[in-house]
Amino acid sequence: MKNARKHEVGRFLSEALSFLGILSLLFASLFILADPASAAETQGGTAVVGPGVTAAIAPGDISLPAPGKTGTLSVEAAMAQRRSVRELADGAVSLNQVSQLLWAAQGITDEKGLRRTAPSAGAKYPIEVFIVAGNVDGLAAGIYRYRPQTHSLALVKKGDARAALCDEALSQEWVRSAPLDIIITAVYERTRVKYGERAERYVHIEVGAVAENVYLETESLGLATTFVGAFTDEGVKKVLGLGDEAPLGIMPIGVGK
């Protein structure tokens, strides 16, 4: 009798344990599915820009993880330690880091979805940012356009284009060895409609502001970069498949050696 009871208690315990095991497996798979760092093509939908303001995400675009607003490095410390770094270690950058860098370059920062992290003459926002990704965790190698309104990426072309970009940048090795290159481009016409001849000056000033944001964000993330201005305009346009956008700077991003 006693033995039968013992046996029953034992069976109950082992069933309870296997039930708990299944439950924890279920929870683990839920966490994996919800991992914000893995890029997934969206089926469309909306992104929240500010309270009550949403923007439509284009079908097929890749939604980026939300950028953080509380880094651990002060602006002063980031400026004090900023350097152009050309020697990059092997190793990938994460999708969270890419998200943070693109937000620093051109992220939307006001509730109406109009203003951005970098200033723009007459709020014309002529800057368009592209990335050439080769070694980003959770993102297939390819050329992507950053969409500030939805904080997402639109695929321009599949495949690793870093070597081709490097060839057009006077073979500066850091363009090829970086896991990721950020390319700052501009559509002059957007500024020209308001400012005429002065547009060129304004657009170039804006590129400087964007580049400095990226420099400081790389410091904050413990990454490294260099502003590369030496490249053939037509060559870079061809590699990226640009239309109205003029390439004005390349910023290879990686882990400094």
Ligand X SMILES: Cc1cc2nc3c(=O)[nH]c(=O)nc-3n(C[C@H](O)[C@H](O)[C@H](O)COP(=O)(O)O)c2cc1C
Chain positions contacting ligand X, by CB under 6 A: 83-84, 86, 172, 226-230
CA 76 from chain centre, in angstroms, equals: 24
The answer to whether 129 and 187 have CB atoms below 8 angstroms apart is no
Contacts of 72 (CB under 8 A, 6+ apart): 220
Buried b (16+ CB within 10 A) or exposed e, 186-210: bbbebbbeebeeebeebbeebbebb
| Residue 249 Cβ vs ligand X, minimum distance, rounded to whole Å | 7
- 241 token code pair: 């498949």
**Residue with smaller CB distance to ligand X, 100 or 172:** 172
Nearer to ligand X by Cβ, of 61 and 219: the residue is 219
Of the pair 142, 179, the CB lying nearest ligand X is at 179
Q: Which is nearer to ligand X, 29 or 171 (CB)?
A: 171
DSSP state of 99: H
- Rounded to the nearest whole angstrom, what is the least distance from the CB of residue 135 to ligand X in the complex? 20
Nearer to ligand X, 95 or 228 (CB): 228
Nearer to ligand X, 140 or 163 (CB): 163
Rounded distance between C-alpha atoms, residue 157 and residue 133, angstroms: 11
Torsion of CA 115, 119, 121, 127, to 10 degrees: -80
Instruction: Give me the count of residues in the chain.
Output: 257
Minimum CB distance to ligand X, residue 57 (Å): 34
For the beta carbon of residue 2, count every other beta carbon within 10 angstroms. 6
Kind and range of the H or E element at 137? strand 136-137
